[in-house]
Amino acid sequence: MGYTADVIKRAGFDQFGIMRFYQQRTIKTFYGGKFLKIAAKEAENYDIIHIHDLIRLVPLVKKQFPNKKIILHYHGSILRNTPKEKRKEAESKADKILLSTPDLTNYVEGIYLPNPVDTEHFSTRKIPVNNKALSLMTHNETKEILKKILKESGKSFEFEAISRQEKPVKYENMPNFLSNYEYLVDVKYINNEIVLAYSLLGLQALAVGLKVINHNLEVVKSLPEENRPEIVIKRIMSLYD
């Protein structure tokens, strides 16, 4: 489309190899503060600075380059777990605030931009009819909660729960890994509540062809149109314009 888009991330925060898969640049530094300074300096070369969750970076860039357009993009955990007072300066200095899931509108006024799925990488696979249901949990204590939720729903599966922290699956292998299962349990349980939104993994599983048990304990069989990359890119380009 005629745009140059570069992505940088601090090295050591790419557990699943996503940055490596897309050949994006990582900055090797032990100190988070140094990364912020490097990122703020590099902002000089760009018209739009799209900052993902890193609220401390927003005022730094705005101070150095007051005419740059800054988009603050929240994806979930940072917004849910950071008090409003600590976010206040970043949110006031951002030109736009984007939210990746609709439930985040409960925390701040912003524009809902659905998560896009790489439908080339997460392309349709042959999915077995084996009644196997997978959950890739973030925390081990979630396993028993998920078992209870599934039992109460009246649904019966051969349920397997794997901790993503203890047994991380690399991004490049994820489509083939998912295709060993018929179902993915996409129920996120945070702060004693079910998150009323699809996770990115849940959307990726739908793109591969799995049936997904969502936050309403419904079985969903296809990727929502709003999460297709060609739809998302049209929305974000209209925001950039």
Residues 6+ apart with CB under 8 A from 64: 40, 41, 43, 44
**Which domains does the chain show, CATH number per domain?**
8-113 (3.40.50), 132-225 (no CATH)
Tell me, what's the pLDDT at 132? 94
Share of residues in the chain with pLDDT > 90 (%): 72
What mean pLDDT is predicted for residues 114-126?
97
pLDDT band of 227, cuts 50, 70, 90:
very high
pTM (whole model) above 0.85? yes
Mind listing the pLDDT tens digit for each residue in 188-209? Answer: 877 777 888 999 999 999 999 9
CA–centroid distance for 206 within its chain: 15
Question: What are the percentages of helix, strand and coil residues in the chain, rounded to 5?
Answer: 35, 20, 45
Average pLDDT, the chain: 91
139: pLDDT strictly greater than 80: no
The answer to whether residues 8 and 42 touch, using CB atoms and an 8 Å cutoff, is: yes
The answer to whether residues 90 and 56 touch, using CB atoms and an 8 Å cutoff, is: yes
Tell me, what's the pLDDT at 151? 77
The tokens of 92 are what?
Answer: 């006031």
Query: Strand 183-185's sheet: what is its strand order?
Result: 158-163, 132-137, 183-185, 211-213, 219-220
